Structure 1
Amino acid sequence: MSTDQIKFAQQFIEAIPHAKALGMTVTNLQDGVAELEMPYDDRFIGDPDTGVISGGAISALMDTCCGAAVVSHPDMNGATATIDLRIDYMRAAKPGDRIIARAEVYHMTRTVAFVRATSHDNDPDNPVATATGAFTAEKTS
């Protein structure tokens, strides 16, 4: 997608209160694929003893990234909402590292988009979490 489309997507993300509060940034958006980043922030620590970011913040990032992938799909014609999202947490993110999420629409029906996602810190070969979900879809054709 063009720089203008990414800029528009970023404005859309910032209009979602929790996404804006978590500092999410759109880094890539193309046909049915989205990548978002979330910086490390002390406000979102889930375990003060270790400095590990909360699972809720990671969940919000992955849900938002999946939704962005759905609305970027070329067959989409409108907004989306989460029907179901399953997140499997693999490990704690390294304290201080940003979290990067990538989501991809792998199947689209007339009314439902199916999405897979992963998130990682600065070690892209070692996921923090994976997700699969179903989202509402209003196709253009």
Structure 2
Amino acid sequence: MSADKLTLARQFIEAIPHAQALEMRFESLGDGKAVLSMPWREELVGDPRTGVIHGGAVSALMDTCCGAAVISHPETPAGTATIDLRIDYMRAATPRQRITARAEVYHMTRTVAFLRATAHDEEDGLPVATATGAFTVERPKGGAQ
């Protein structure tokens, strides 16, 4: 991935208001793969009794990570949007631990990218959640693709 494309992808994702609100940060990005993380925060807790982060926050992280992976793909899509995202929650995230999502494009057609993703906390072992998704592939206007 070119430095210009990487910068553009980072700026695009970092401009998303919910990504800012959830304090998402890039860990790595390129070649149809992305790793994003977000911190545990008390205002994101879904169960005050246990301190477990809300599944919606995990879902938003995984969705954004998948979109970043699409944007970073070598076929250089101009943009993307979620068509379908299935998330399976495997276990509660450990309270007070950072959540990291990893997404990878495993197949791309002219108009649709297919992805797999996982989310982990800082514990070893099972993922917090896994996902499969389909995302639009928006081609540059007037481009050869």
TM-score (norm 2): 0.90
Q: CA deviation at 1:30?
A: 1.2
Give 1:1-80 correspondences, 5 Å limit: 8-80=8-80
Query: Is the alpha carbon distance of 1:131 and 1:31 closer, same or farther for their aligned partners in structure 2, counting shifts above 3 Å?
Result: same
Which structure: larger Rg? 2
Number of aligned residue pairs: 141
- CA distance in 2 between counterparts of 1:113 and 1:61 reads 18
Contact 2:33/2:105, CA 8 A, preserved across alignment: yes
Shift of 1:126: 1.6
Show the counterpart of 2:107: 107
Which 5+ residue runs of structure 2 have no aligned equivalent?
none
1:11-50 Cα offsets, whole Å, 9 max, x none, are: 3222111111000001100100000000111110000000
1:37-67 Cα shifts (integer Å, max 9, x gaps): 0011111000000000000000000000000
* In structure 1, distance between residues paired with 2:108 and 2:56: 27
- Whichever residue aligns with residue 51 of structure 2, its letter is G
TM-score (norm 1): 0.92
**What per-residue deviation string (whole Å, max 9, x for no partner) do you get for residues 78-120 of structure 1?**
1100000000000000000000000000000010000000000
How many Å separate the matches in 2 of 1:18 and 1:88?
A: 21
Offset of residue 124 of structure 1: 4.5
Cα distance in 1 for partners of 2:4, 2:25 equals: 14
Identity within the alignment, %: 67
Q: Give the superposed CA RMSD.
A: 1.8
Unpaired stretches in structure 1, ≥5 consecutive residues: none
